[in-house]
Amino acid sequence: MLAAENDGERTADAIRDAMDPIWYAFTEEERRILDDRSVGIVRSLEGLRIPLGDHLYYADPGPPQKRPLPSPTQSITDWRKAA
């Protein structure tokens, strides 16, 4: 809300209007608790991350398996032309 108020009064008003039904559904005590919150400034997005479970992450299988290079079955001819 603080960012919206700094951006312009219309933006903050639109957010407040959308939140009114939620706000008025709270009890007086719930509204008092929310009003007593302290306001902080987010300096890093790291603090905004919420762990939701391991099912959202990809398990890295690690480095690829080393496979031997294929060996030629016949002798190599004309290798100077190929190089």
Q: What is the pLDDT of residues 51-68, one digit of tens each?
A: 666 666 666 677 878 878
CA nearest to 34, candidates 45, 43, 44, 25: 25
Q: Is residue 21 part of a domain?
A: yes
Neighbours of 61 (CB within 10 A): 7
Is residue 10 in some structural domain? yes
Question: Given this model, what pLDDT does residue 17 score?
Answer: 86
* Residue 16 within a domain: yes
Residue 32 lies in a domain: yes
29 is in which domain, residue-wise? Answer: 1-39
Number of domains in the chain: 1
Is the model's pTM score more than 0.85?
no
Q: Is residue 80 part of a domain?
A: no
pLDDT at position 78 over 70: yes
Has residue 33 been placed in a domain?
yes
